[in-house]
Amino acid sequence: MTAIRIDRISKTFVSSRTGEQVVALKDVDLEVSQGEFVAIVGPSGCGKSTLLSIIAGILEPTSGAAYHYDAPILGPSPDRGVLFQDYALFPWLSVRQNISFGPRARGVPSSEWQQEVDRLISVVGLSGFDTRLPHELSGGMRQRCALARMLANEPRTWLMDEPLAAVDLQTRTLLQEEILRIWGEDQPPADRPAVMFITHGIDEAVLLADRVIVLGRRPGRVKADLKIDLNRPRFEHRDLAAEGVLVQQIWDQIRDEARSAILED
Cα angle value 232/48/28 (rounded, 5°): 95
| Position among 7, 31, 45, 178 found at the interface with ligand ATP (CB under 6 A) | 45
| Residues 39-68 close enough to bind Mg ion by CB under 5 A | 48-49
Shortest spacing between CB 220 and ligand ATP, in angstroms: 6
- Which of 28, 36, 49, 61 contacts ligand ATP by CB under 6 A? 49
Residue 150 and residue 82 in contact, taking contact as beta carbons nearer than 8 Å: yes
Q: Give the one residue of 50, 94, 98, 253 binding ligand ATP; rule: CB under 6 A.
A: 50
Q: Does 163 bind ligand ATP (CB under 6 A)?
A: no
Window contacting ligand ATP (CB under 6 A); options: 41-49, 139-147, 206-214, 246-254: 41-49
Query: Which of 35, 105, 110 is CA-nearest to residue 76?
Result: 105
Residue 74 burial (CB < 10 Å; 0-12/13-18/19+)?
Answer: exposed
When CB distances are held under 5 to 8 angstroms depending on the partner's kind, the choice from Mg ion, ligand ATP, none that residue 13 binds is ligand ATP
Q: Taking CB within 5 to 8 Å according to partner kind, which of ligand ATP, Mg ion, none is near residue 24?
A: ligand ATP
Q: Tell me which of 9, 30, 46, 247 binds ligand ATP, using CB under 6 A.
A: 46
- 211/32 Cα distance (integer angstroms): 9
84/129 with CB nearer Mg ion:
84
Look at residue 157 and give the partner it binds from ligand ATP, Mg ion, none, a contact being a CB closer than 5 to 8 Å depending on partner kind: none
Residues 115-154 that bind Mg ion (CB under 5 A): none
Of these, 28, 37, 38, 48, which contacts ligand ATP (CB under 6 A)?
Answer: 48
> Which SS3 state, helix, strand or coil, does residue 179 take?
helix
Query: How far is 210 from 34, CA to CA, in rounded Å?
Result: 12
- For 56, other C-beta atoms within 10 Å of its C-beta total 22
Cα gap 57→112, rounded to integer Å? 27
d(CA 119, CA 169): 26
Backbone CA torsion sign across 146, 147, 152, 158: positive
CA atoms within 13 A on the CB side of 161: 20
CA 10 to chain centre: 20
Binding marks (x or -) toward ligand ATP, 11..40, rule CB under 6 A? --x--------x-x----------------
Instruction: Find the binding residues for ligand ATP in span 78-97 (CB under 6 A).
Output: none
Residue with Cβ nearer ligand ATP (48 or 221): 48
191 vs 256 by CB, closer to ligand ATP: 256
Q: Please list every residue from 130 through 149 that binds ligand ATP, using CB under 6 A.
A: none
86-109 residues labelled b (16+ CB within 10 A) or e (exposed): ebebeeeebbbbbbbbbbeeeeee
Q: Shortest distance, CB of residue 53 to ligand ATP, whole angstroms? A: 8
**Chain positions contacting ligand ATP, by CB under 6 A:** 13, 22, 24, 42, 44-50
**Chain positions contacting Mg ion, by CB under 5 A:** 48-49
